[in-house]
Amino acid sequence: MGEEKKDLFKDYVAETVEYDEEIDGSDEHKIRENHLSTKENLVEKIKKAKAAAKGNQTTFRQNIRTENEK
């Protein structure tokens, strides 16, 4: 059975397939790329805003009381 598999693919040559808009007829890949880049920009903007908001905030903490404290 191993011999049959080797014979089946002995003439196989891999080829590179490229996207052709006329043949494939869709620009969904462009829309997806646009959504991903927009999402990336918004995530970065939100991270910066959160970091800026945290930087201006001063937190004062009191000691934590326990039940055993007298």
Q: Enter the pTM of the model.
A: 0.41
Distance between CA 41 and CA 61 in Å, rounded? 35
How high is the pLDDT of residue 4?
A: 66
Length of the chain: 70
Please report, in tens digits, the pLDDT of each residue of the chain (70 residues total): 556 666 787 888 888 888 777 777 677 777 888 899 999 999 999 999 888 877 766 666 777 777 776 5
How high is the pLDDT of residue 59?
A: 65
Sorted by where each begins, the domain ranges of the chain are: 26-53
Distance between CA 55 and CA 47 in Å, rounded? 12
How high is the pLDDT of residue 42?
A: 95
